[in-house]
Amino acid sequence: MRATVLIFALAAAAWAGELPGQSIRRALFELKEMDMHLHAGLERGAGLDPWLDLAVADGRKVIVVLDHLELYRPSDRKKTFAVTYPTGPAGHKALMDDLDALAARRKDVILFKGWEVYEGELDTGVEPDPMRMADVIGWHISPNHSGQPPDGGTLIKRIRQILEIQKRFPVPMIVFHPFTMRLEHIQRKAKAAGRDVKAILPGEYRFFTARQQAEVAHLLQGTSVYIEISNAQAQYINDPACREALIADIKSLVEAGVQFTVSTDNHSVASAKKPFVPVEYTSLYGVTPFNTNTIVRELLAMKAKRGLIRGASGK
């Protein structure tokens, strides 16, 4: 009888989205403690350990360290960086070896490694070998879309493509900064045309229609694809029109059960020295530790499984 009651209780908890342990506040990482998008390759602003020290000093406890994959192609490396890695496969391996060594020696933060990949590669084809090295793959949504900003239709197309490519590369994937890329595009175009940015109405900023929001929620239900809420939002929420549009676009996704990540997307020491306070904007949408820790649980489980496999093989 007790076993039957327990089974029904667990089933009810699962149905309500409250599996055992998920409601224990101390079992979760707080928003400020997570950064699922920190550049730690060619674009990092310091040596690896000092770079991580800046994040840890500001409270980070779990981080995805990554770099732009296209920067390792000779044709796309258009500038000189203070940090050096080779191009091509040698560069991929050198970076990932550095990130593995960093994760092994740091006892004050949990690290996962990944790549940020330009969204256009979902159309033209991806580079498979470096993709297989990653714990996480993030897809860079760009502000440049044939003269038009990214919107709900763009995101739906990309999510469908990501779900398909994830069958080849079965790791958690993140849609990076979609909302701020739209805002950036619209404001940049307005300034170029001599428009007053303060005159832009919320409707022009809106990313989704209600139907598109529902489709995104349906596509992402039960998947390992997440939407990023990046720190770039901090620069927009003080504009009333941007703020209204962001709330309308994101809050409905939260209420529909979409899972998110939070990140600094830091590239420079100057940015890394600024406090990361994601609650300033996530609180507007209802994004909490409960819908941003799912990817962390998933990554920890995958890491534990890999450890078991290595242990069984004796490697």
pLDDT by 10-residue block (mean), the chain, 315 residues: 40 46 69 97 90 96 97 85 91 97 96 97 97 98 86 97 98 97 95 94 96 97 96 95 98 96 94 94 95 94 82 66
* Residue 150 vs residues 157, 179, 207, 252, 254: alpha-carbon distances, Å: 11, 8, 8, 19, 20
Residue 101 neighbours by CB distance under 10 Å: 11
- Domains by residue range for the chain, with CATH: 29-313 (3.20.20.140)
Burial call 110-121: b when 16+ CB within 10 Å, e when fewer: bbbbbbbbbbeb
Tell me which residue has tokens 């406090």: 275
Give pTM, 2 decimals: 0.90
Q: List the structure tokens of 225.
A: 């694809």
Please report the pLDDT score of residue 151 as a whole number.
95
Strand partners, 229: 262
Please report the pLDDT score of residue 315 as a whole number.
61
Cβ(155)–Cβ(216) under 8 Å?
yes
Please report the pLDDT score of residue 5 as a whole number.
41
Secondary structure of residue 111 in the 3-state scheme: strand
Q: Please give the order of strands across the beta sheet that includes 225-230.
A: 34-39, 62-68, 110-118, 136-140, 173-176, 225-230, 260-263
End-to-end CA distance of the chain: 45
